[in-house]
Homo-oligomer: A and B are copies of this chain.
């Protein structure tokens, strides 16, 4: 079967944007069409990754609006929602549309408009994805992160500073990302002295609330050649759920969805973690970077903190993680985040990542929905 190629990508300025969801989606969509050199009426399928435009903005039907705004009618269009991993789910949906033969040119646009709502309102919308048995008792995603971090530090005898070092690293990487919400370094002391949010986690262990959008253009590899000789292929992809009730998990330091989706993606690509050159992990909370490194076999169980301490995941290390700055520095506009992870990996493997470029032929993106309720792992390789 023809492999699925990525022939173009875009990412808008992440941060507090004076634009509504329709405008954000159109901005990324137009930029991606231009980047790929694809005419709007050549788009056959158009997927929109978005969690909650209805709840945040009172606007639904945004895929139809986007088809209209891009001039892509009569392209088939649909919204993909998998909560905070809607972007990764969008990559999977777009991949399926091409791999099934349904579409020879699929545009995926992910976006979310959130900053016009208060942090409490936004947290409430996000918390509605969790099990009522937990969220009605006030256990939101940040609470899970705090509880899990405490367990992890205790279980594996890890220093609190190792978590803070994730934030320091990702902020340092974000300086080179012109689209990142925070393009500034933070010191270990700043992180360690920031206000407690969910003990032991502090303000700088959390990603911000963000507006933004990103896009990818997918087509069969045989079609890619008509547009460019420098493209990526999605060589592996998989998705998996874990218990919806988080407290039912046997070991709270293991995310089953990360393990299972990673296995699927590695198997399809015919590679293992040692073959990776770069990875984007879903660092909505610093502790999640550890859990994904371990779940994906990048570090042994309980040893991701040592990799951070040893600088292995720095840009100069064995396996650079979150060269984009991650969700931590780049921001986390729910539906856009997984697509923006794909943007970074695509740019890295085609050698177009500018100041963020590392030596990379194979990259992985892991997008986590809820608190690991559903996870999508994608592997891209340089084409040809």
Contact = CB atoms under 8 A, between A and B. Distances in A.
A64 B257 CA distance: 11
A241 B67 contact: yes
A260 interface: yes
A129 B241 contact: no
A77 interface: yes
Interface in A2-53: 51-52
Copies in the assembly, this chain:
2
List 8 A-B pairs, minimum CB-CB distance, nearest first: A61-B129, A76-B239, A68-B244, A99-B100, A100-B100, A79-B81, A74-B240, A64-B373
B238 A76 contact: yes
14 contacts: A59-B132, A61-B130, A72-B241, A73-B242, A76-B240, A76-B241, A76-B261, A78-B82, A78-B92, A78-B93, A92-B102, A95-B100, A96-B97, A97-B100
A69 B168 CA distance: 40
A67 B244 contact: yes
A128 interface: yes
A101 interface: yes
A60 interface: yes
Given A101-B99, A374-B77, A60 B52 contact: yes
A79 B82 contact: yes
A260 B80 contact: no
Contact of A77 (B76, B128, B241): B241
A159 interface: no
A242 to B, nearest CB: 6
B61 A128 contact: yes
A245 B130 CA distance: 36
A1 interface: yes
Given A61-B130, A129-B61, A374-B77, A96 B89 contact: no
A370 interface: yes
Nearest to A99: B100
A117 to B, nearest CB: 13
